[in-house]
C-alpha cells in the first residue's frame, strides 16, 4: 500500500515539504542523503523539493549541505511577535482602562479590516461591533487609519469605503486628508462617530520591529463626554510603553511615557457638559 509520501496529490506534496523541514529540528546543516533518510522521502523527490525551498529562501545551501534559510527565521520571529504583543499589551491596557475609565482595545490588521483581539472595559456593552473577535473596515476605524498612516500605498489592502455611519470615510480624497492629520499628530488617529454614531475612538500604532506595523491600541468612549486631547496623549504614550516593553531597549521616550501615565486621570478624560468632540474626528 502506498504511503502518503507516494501519493501525487497536493496534500501529499505538503506532507513531503513538512517532513523535509521537520528534519532540521535541532540540527544545523544536513546533506541530501541525510535529509532523505531522516524524512523518508526519496532522494530524487527530496532534491527537487529542496531546490524549490532554496528559491523561496526557506532553505539555504551551505556547500554540499542544506540548512534552514533566513525566511524561515523571519516567519518564526513574526509568529513569536504576534504572541508577544498581546502579552505585553494586556497589563498596559488594564492600567489604561483603570486610569481613564474608557474601554481599551488591541486590534490587528486582518486584510481589509481590523480585528479586535483583546479588550478591557464594558462599554459599549451590547454592541457586537466592539467585542473581541469582531471586525471593522480598516479605512473607517481609528485603529485601521492609525495603521494605514504608517504604510506605503503599495502595502495597503483593498479599500472598499463601506461606510458604517453617516460620518464615515466616503472616498480616497477624504482618507488622504484624514491620514495627513494622523501623521501630523504623530500617528494618533481620532474617529468621532465615523465608525459608529455616539462613539469616539482614539488609536495609535504599536510601532517598531516588534509590533510589525500590524497592531494598534485604542480607547473608546461616549462621543458627548470624551475629551480627545488627553485621551490621545494617553493612547500615544501607552503604545510606546508596549513597544519599549517588547524591545526592552532603554529610550528617553520611556521616561516620557511614565510621566504621561502619572498625569492622566478620569477627570481629564471626560467632559462635564454636553459639548461633543465630533469636530476633532474624521468627519
- The alpha carbon dihedral of 255, 190, 84, 58 has a sign of negative
Residue 220's DSSP bridge partners are 103, 201
What is the rounded distance in angstroms from the CA atom of residue 58 to the CA atom of residue 70?
Answer: 7
What is the rounded distance in angstroms from the CA atom of residue 124 to the CA atom of residue 42?
Answer: 59
The pTM of the full predicted model, rounded to 2 decimals, is 0.65
Q: Are strands 215-222 and 103-110 parallel, antiparallel or unpaired?
A: antiparallel
Domain map of the chain by residue range? Answer: 10-68, 78-280
What is the rounded distance in angstroms from the CA atom of residue 63 to the CA atom of residue 148?
Answer: 43
Cell numbers for 78, please give them.
513574526
pLDDT the model gives residue 79: 67
The residue to which cell 479588550 is assigned: 119
CATH number for the region 78-280 comes to: 3.30.450.40
pLDDT per residue as tens, the chain (283 positions): 334 445 567 888 888 899 899 888 656 789 999 999 999 999 999 999 999 999 999 999 999 999 988 888 777 766 666 678 898 999 999 999 999 999 999 999 988 999 999 999 988 876 677 888 889 999 999 999 999 999 988 889 889 998 989 999 999 999 999 999 999 999 999 999 999 999 999 999 997 544 457 899 999 999 999 999 999 999 999 999 998 888 764 444 333 334 334 445 555 555 544 333 333 344 4
Closest CA to 45 of 80, 4, 88: 4
pLDDT the model gives residue 17: 92
Answer yes or no: CATH 1.10.10.10 is held by domain 10-68: yes
Amino acid at each position: 500500500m502506498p504511503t502518503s509520501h507516494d501519493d501525487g496529490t497536493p496534500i501529499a506534496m505538503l506532507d513531503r515539504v513538512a517532513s523535509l523541514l521537520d528534519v532540521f529540528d535541532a540540527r544545523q546543516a544536513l546533506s541530501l542523503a541525510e535529509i532523505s533518510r531522516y524524512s523518508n522521502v526519496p532522494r530524487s523527490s527530496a532534491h527537487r523539493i529542496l531546490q524549490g525551498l532554496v528559491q523561496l529562501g526557506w532553505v539555504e545551501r551551505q556547500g554540499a549541505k542544506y540548512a534552514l534559510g533566513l525566511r524561515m527565521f523571519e516567519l518564526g520571529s513574526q509568529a513569536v511577535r504576534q504572541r508577544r504583543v498581546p502579552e505585553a499589551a494586556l497589563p498596559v491596557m488594564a492600567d489604561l482602562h483603570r486610569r481613564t475609565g474608557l474601554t481599551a482595545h488591541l486590534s490587528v490588521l486582518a486584510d481589509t479590516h481590523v480585528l479586535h483581539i483583546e479588550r478591557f472595559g464594558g462599554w459599549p456593552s451590547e454592541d457586537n461591533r466592539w467585542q473581541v473577535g469582531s471586525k471593522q473596515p480598516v479605512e473607517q476605524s481609528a485603529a485601521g487609519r492609525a495603521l494605514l498612516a504608517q504604510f506605503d500605498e503599495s502595502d495597503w489592502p483593498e479599500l472598499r469605503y463601506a461606510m458604517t455611519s453617516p460620518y464615515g470615510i466616503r472616498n480616497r480624497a477624504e482618507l488622504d486628508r484624514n491620514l495627513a492629520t494622523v501623521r501630523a499628530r504623530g500617528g494618533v488617529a481620532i474617529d468621532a462617530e465615523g465608525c459608529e454614531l455616539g462613539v469616539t475612538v482614539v488609536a495609535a500604532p504599536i510601532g517598531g520591529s516588534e509590533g510589525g506595523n500590524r497592531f494598534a491600541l485604542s480607547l473608546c468612549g461616549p462621543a458627548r463626554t470624551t475629551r480627545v486631547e488627553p485621551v490621545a496623549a494617553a493612547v500615544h504614550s501607552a503604545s510606546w510603553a508596549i513597544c519599549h516593553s517588547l524591545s526592552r531597549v532603554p529610550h528617553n521616550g520611556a521616561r516620557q511615557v511614565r510621566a504621561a501615565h502619572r498625569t492622566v486621570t478620569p477627570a481629564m478624560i471626560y467632559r462635564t457638559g454636553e459639548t461633543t468632540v465630533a469636530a476633532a474626528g474624521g468627519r
